[in-house]
Structure 1
Amino acid sequence: MELSLNALVERLDEQFFQRATRAWRVASGTQRDVPRLDELGELKRQDAWQAVNEVVDSPRVDEAKRARLTLLKRHLARAFVEAQREEATAKRAHFVESHTFFAAAKTWTPLEASRELPKLASRESRLALASELSLQLTANPSTAAHQLDLGIEALHALKLTPESYLEVLHGRAIAPRLEHARAMLNATAAAHADLLGYALKKVDPQLTARTARFHDAERATLAPWLFESFRREDLQHAVSRTLTDLNLSPNADGRLTVDTDSRNASTQHVFELRVPDQIRLLLAPDMGIETYATWLSNWGLALHRANVGRTLPFVERRLGDSAVLQAVGLLFESCLLDEGWLKRYLRLTASQAREAARAFAFRQLTALRRAAALSDFSLEASKRGAVSGLDDEYVSRTSTALGVEAPRGFGVFEADVNNDAALTLDAYALELVFRRELRERFNEDFWRNPATGRWLVDLASRGQRDDAAVIARSYGTEDLNPLAAANDRVAVMGL
């Protein structure tokens, strides 16, 4: 190919920097209406992926170089697929971010409605908004349907099936992972149903799983009855004290810039301008268990990225398995599963800490079950395309997983040829591997041991060369299985 592999990597490095810088400026409110640039260039060409693929398969390539090029190959496969549907993706984004409708005494976009629906305290308002949102999505499926179909066409252009594409993209086969996911759904159905019933009663004493709607179950995962236990004024102190006890610098000795006063909760994110030296973190203060989880996971992830080895090759700093990064974030937010942490940092009583840990375990188990349903559905959608009956399949799978009837209209918008939901399942499995390792090394209170901080820095320093499965094996776990992670949450729930 005309562009050398070294030049390709340099182009990619600059693309990442420019994209993250613009995203950070827009999210932080310092820049608006940023024009889209054709920043992919040669990176979106099919022959770029093919050329790297040929080098990876060459017997003359040493294993270290092969490992780095495999990371590049995975990224280029995704870049090609995204490039083929770039215009459709932009139209879909425009619809969900700009299309407006009126419900519950307010004008909404689909994106705003989806984010804010569970937060509405009034069930009457939730019912009105959920109904209208479902109608709007059902009536306007074309942008998402076109995006899905173009993604499938891109796989065909690469001569890949949905399954083989995911094996390239994730570095491991999808079929056994989906078998694990289905087994997890079956094994934890009764426990999830039990706590769902309890949580629904906490939201509204009149609710049962039979009478509840999807938005009721979503609100239950926010644990609104515990808002006073997770006060806004305690939030930053609790997170900062945790980092201090771990002997972790909250700003990574200047490599991490933190803004903890965003006015828009939807912009909370880690922005990786340059890894490890220019990391940005945007957070919004609020009350509630969801906000505490967001702060813990994002701050933990930001510190992880700010401690990546500076001398590592670009591909090992930036192009690895996102399941590993998710697992790090989950490790930090899973402090909320620990009654000892809740009592120490939030000064909760024993009974309050027990209730909070159970509520957060229910929240995470619900997320696991939702990811399992979405992963299975997304693979099916990647085979069938945006055909009639696809939404019925989504409603059936999601309703079974979550114990309440899922709304219509969401199926084609949720379908994902990249199947990031499968990576979420892997992340939960790896997080449990991390947590068990830390408990064995440093006891149950590992979250206040400076040795844990050193362990976390060492993990980060290795970069992203190894994927989730390789890392799990290095700690003695041969199989990434979400069932173990789900059972861990069931145990916390006391069921």
Structure 2
Amino acid sequence: MDRPLHSVRTRLDDFLAELATLQYRHGAGLARELPVSSLHASFPELSSPDTFVAANEALAKARAKDDPLAVRRLQLLRELLATQVEEALAARPAEAVAALESRATLAVDEQSLGFGEALGRVPHERVRSRRAVLERALGNFLWENRGPYGDRREAALHAVERLGAKDYAALREDVTGVPFAALAEAAARTLARTEDAYRDVLAYVLKKLDPLLRPLPGGDARRHDLQAALQAPWMDELFRREDAWPAVVRWLGEWGLVPNAGGRIRIDDEERPGKSPRPFVVTVRVPEDIRLVLQPRGGMDALGSLLHEMGHAQHRAHVSATLPMELRRLGDAAVTEAHAAVFERLLLSPDWLKRYLGMPTLAARDTTRLAAFQALTVLRRHCAKLSYELSLMTRGPSTERADEYADGQRHALFTEPHPGFFLYDVDPQLYVAHYLRAWALETRLTARLTERFNEDFWRNPQAATWLQGLYARGGMDDAEGLATEVSGTPLALPEAGERLVAILNR
């Protein structure tokens, strides 16, 4: 075995465990700093272009020998190495961003708020004028401090140079197999096919929030108005904070699962200053040490987020422990996002809502339509983000990109965004593409579950067992192959949008 790859395989599990621990401590409010640069310095072979070259050579040999298992392991390792070259270059800017956000104080109506606190308040602020002040303070702060965020995006372009790729999209397509041009075309078709239904329901939810609110172009609705409307404050009594966790526990129990997966999932639900307001999962060791971090909250969005992250945790906790390290640890991100989305999309089932939250029939029907609108909003937002981020990663983080970002979000959501978010509202490594593919795959998985186990598959332990069989395969699957396996047809992003529109039109 090539020496650089042997070192990587020997130490990769420890590297990922240490990285996950740092991310856990930072997101859980246990540490203000995120010292990733020292971690990369301790594992230099993971961010070395020479190691990436060695992986390329080993992959070519495995393909020549027609060894599918070796090919898959090397494909995943190669993607990780390309990512770590970029992440090592981005380590200092990432630390600067983490420090900036953890120490920032924003002046809001004679009150000082931390960055995370202000960000978390926007969707839940009932008074529109105060939401506007919060959004403006956040957007202006991000604009004035865009330097570290821009440096983080520049690191991706430096990685292209280090790895000898033509451009960033070509590099990520090479290591992931995701056809970005075709996906961008599918995203454009999805926006076109869902626009009428989205605008109709947008007008309705904005009016529910404030009778005077209207979407663009005729109205003056802003992004913060949409964020507040998606919380559906008029339905708060249906989604009480104290009901969410018991409902999820009861459902999992009837399905044959337990929240902590026999001790493999550690649940951190302690209230703590500086803790992320949204739940998240980190994988310290797979499958035996999965961390689910949450702060119990009320509201439909909070329940959806809880279900989503529980889906991530259950997936990772049921990966087979006998798989090779790469197949336990790595994989197509769209696959795990799809498994999480299967859980989150239970909000589209009125019978699930009636059974586990005790909703009346009419309220359950209204909730499913609102949940479909929420999902469609997120889908459209990411469809617009894909083309923007492809441009950003080609042209670089100049201020001209701010108008491009705002134009795309305005066209997709029919609300006015603050352009200051143009470098903040970006995930590394074009992760937006994985979300889009995940939602297309979730459509296929849910259709298969429904076909095989009926519409109430979420009550049938055999359905959970079937999913656990997929979970156990770890990184063996890619989204396209899994979609074809379970449905006989490839991924089709517009179908994910059309499914949501069909629910809105009921």
Q: Same fold (TM over 0.5)?
A: yes
In 2, Cα distance between equivalents of 1:38 and 1:249: 34
Aligned to 2:188: 182
Partners of 1:239 and 1:20 in 2: CA distance: 25
The CA deviation at 1:250 is: 2.3
Query: After superposition, what is the alpha-carbon deviation per residue over 1:306-336, rounded to whole angstroms, capped at 9, x for unaligned?
Result: 1111100011011101111111111001110
Q: CA 1:455–1:432 in 2, change beyond 3 Å: closer, same or farther?
A: same
Q: How many residues align?
A: 495
Q: Evaluate the alpha carbon distance shift between residue 87 and residue 31 of structure 1 in structure 2; reply closer, same or farther with a 3 A threshold.
A: closer
The structure 1 residue matched to 2:498, chosen from 471, 487, 491, is 487
Q: CA deviation at 1:88?
A: 1.9
Verify: 1:234 aligned to 2:243, yes or no. Answer: yes
Correspondence for 2:390 among 374, 379, 389: 379
Cα shift at 1:471? 0.7
Rounded to whole Å, the distance in 2 between the matches of 1:349 and 1:38 is 52
CA contact (8 A) 1:433 1:477 kept: no
Question: For the Cα contact (< 8 Å) 2:34–2:95, is it kept in 1?
Answer: no
| TM-score scaled by length of structure 1 | 0.95
The SS at the match of 1:340 is: helix
Deviates more, 1:296-305 or 1:71-80: 296-305
CA contact (8 A) 1:252 1:306 kept: yes
Query: What residue number does 1:147 align with?
Result: 152
| Corresponding position: 1:272 with 2:283 | yes
For 2:413, give the aligned amino acid: L
Distance of 2:170 and 2:396 partners within structure 1: 17
Shift of 1:412: 2.5
Query: Partner residue of 1:439?
Result: 450
Q: Is the 8 A contact 2:7 2:45 kept in 1?
A: no
Evaluate the alpha carbon distance shift between residue 177 and residue 15 of structure 1 in structure 2; reply closer, same or farther with a 3 A threshold: same
The residue that corresponds to 2:324 in the other structure is: 313
Which of residues 96, 101, 106 is equivalent to 1:101?
106
Cα distance change, pair 418–24 in 1 and its aligned pair in 2 (3 A): closer
Give the share of equivalent positions with the same residue, in percent.
35
What pairs with 1:274-293 in structure 2 (closer than 5 Å)? 274-293=285-304
> Match of 1:205, SS?
coil
Q: Which residue of 2 aligns with 1:304?
A: 315
Shift of 1:133: 2.0
Counterpart of 1:165 in structure 2: which amino acid?
L
Task: Tell me if 1:429 matches 2:440.
Answer: yes
Tell me which of 363, 381, 404 is aligned to 1:393: 404
SS at match of 2:423: helix
Letter aligned with residue 79 of structure 1: Q
After TM superposition, give the deviation of residue 61 of structure 1 in Å: 6.1
Distance between the aligned counterparts of 2:29 and 2:400, measured in 1? 41
* Moved beyond 4 Å, runs of 4+: 25-36
CA shift, 1:183, in A, is 0.4
CA distance in 2, matches of 1:138, 1:235: 37
Shift of 1:57: 1.6
Equivalent residue, structure 1, for 2:223: 214
The within-5 A match list for 1:41-80 is: 41-58=44-61, 59-60=64-65, 62-80=67-85
TM-score normalised according to structure 2 size: 0.93
Looking at structure 2, the residues matched to 101 and 469 of structure 1 have their Cα atoms a distance apart, in angstroms, of 44
Q: Which runs of 5+ in 2 are unaligned?
A: none
Moved more, 388-397 or 405-414: 405-414
Distance (Å, rounded) in 1 between the aligned partners of 2:196 and 2:33: 48
Q: How does 1:4-153 map to 2 (within 5 A)?
A: 4-28=4-28, 36=36, 37-39=38-40, 40-58=43-61, 59-60=64-65, 62-153=67-158
Q: In the TM superposition, what whole-angstrom CA distance separates every residue of 1:434-493 from its partner, at most 9, and x where no partner exists?
A: 100000001111011111111121111111121111111111353322211111111111
Indicate conservation of the 8 Å contact 1:429/1:485, yes or no: yes
1:209-258 CA-to-partner distances (Å, cap 9, x unmatched) read 11211100111111111111011121122101110111112221222222
Mark the runs of 5 or more structure 1 residues left unpaired by the alignment. none
**Offset at residue 20 of structure 1 (A):** 2.0
In the TM superposition, residue 199 of structure 1 has moved relative to its aligned partner by 0.6
Q: Contact between 1:200 and 1:216, CA under 8 Å: does it hold in 2? A: yes
Moved more, 445-454 or 383-392: 383-392
Question: 1:151–1:109: structure 2 CA closer, same or farther, 3 Å change rule?
Answer: farther
Q: Deviations over 1:382-409 (max 9, x none)?
A: 1111224211100100110011111121
Kept in 2, the 8 Å contact 1:375–1:420? The answer is no
CA distance in 2, matches of 1:22, 1:5: 25
